[in-house]
Amino acid sequence: MERPITKDRTYSVEIGKVKVEVPLDANSCLLCANPLQTIAVGACDHRVICYICMLRLRWILKKNACPLCKVPLETLFVVNTLDAKYEDLMKNKSSLVQDSSDPNVYYEDEVACDRMRKLRGYYCLWEGCGKNLYDQKALDGHLRSAHNRVLCEVCFKNRPVFMGEQLVFPSHKLQEHMKYG
Ligand SMILES: [Zn+2]
Ligand SMILES: [Zn+2]
Ligand SMILES: [Zn+2]
Ligand SMILES: [Zn+2]
C-alpha cells in the first residue's frame, strides 16, 4: 500500500520516540539528515535512507521494515546510484558484493562493504588509530593502555549504534559523563 509521492507532501517518521515531519524530496537521509550518497534500497523502492541508518535498524534494532512505508525489506541493496531500482538490482544480484554475515544484503562496491565491516568490528575508536582488536575485551584494554581512553559501559549497553559509533572518553572524564551525560 504505497502512498503517492508528491513533492509538497511530508511524511511523519518515528525516530525512537520522536515523530518528525519530513519532505519526501529531501536530499538528506530521513533518519540522520546526512546528505544521501550511499543508500539502501529494498522492495518498496524508497530511496531516502542512508545505508548506515538502514543497516543500523536492521542489525542493531532488529527492524527490517522500511521506516517510511513499513514494508518488510527482506533484501537490501547498498548503492551509490540514487535512482537505482530494486527490480533491476534484483536481476544483477550475482554481480554485487554479498555481505559476509547477512546474505540478503548486497553492496554495489567494496567501499561501503568495507566501511560496514569496520563499523561492526572491534577497531580502535580513537582518532586515526583504527587498530583491529577483534573483541571487546581487547578493545577495552587497548583503549586504556594506548590512549588512556575508556568506553562508557552504560552507553555501550544502551545506545543502539554500531560498535564503531560508540563514544570513548578520557579515563578521568568518565565519572563526569556518567553524571551529566
Ligand atoms: Zn542516515
Ligand atoms: Zn518504503
Ligand atoms: Zn588505538
Ligand atoms: Zn555513557
For residue 132, the CA-to-ligand 1 centroid distance in Å is 25
Residue 119 reports pLDDT greater than 50? yes
Task: State if pTM tops 0.85.
Answer: no
**Residue 19 has what pLDDT?**
72
Q: Are 107 and 99 in contact (CB under 8 A)?
A: yes
Q: What are the tens digits of pLDDT across the range 32-49?
A: 989 999 999 999 998 889
Distance CA 138, CA 145 (A): 10
**Residue 80 has what pLDDT?**
94
Nearest ligand for residue 67 CA: 2
For residue 111, the CA-to-ligand 1 centroid distance in Å is 17
DSSP 16-63: TTEEEEEETT-SB-TTT--B-SSEEE-TT----SBHHHHHHHHHTS--
Q: Where are the domains of the chain?
A: 27-119, 122-180
Q: What is the mean pLDDT of residues 110-133?
A: 94
101: DSSP letter? S
- Min mean pLDDT across 15-19, 34-38, 155-159 is at 15-19
3: DSSP letter? P
At the topology level of CATH, where does 27-119 sit?
Herpes Virus-1 (3.30.40)
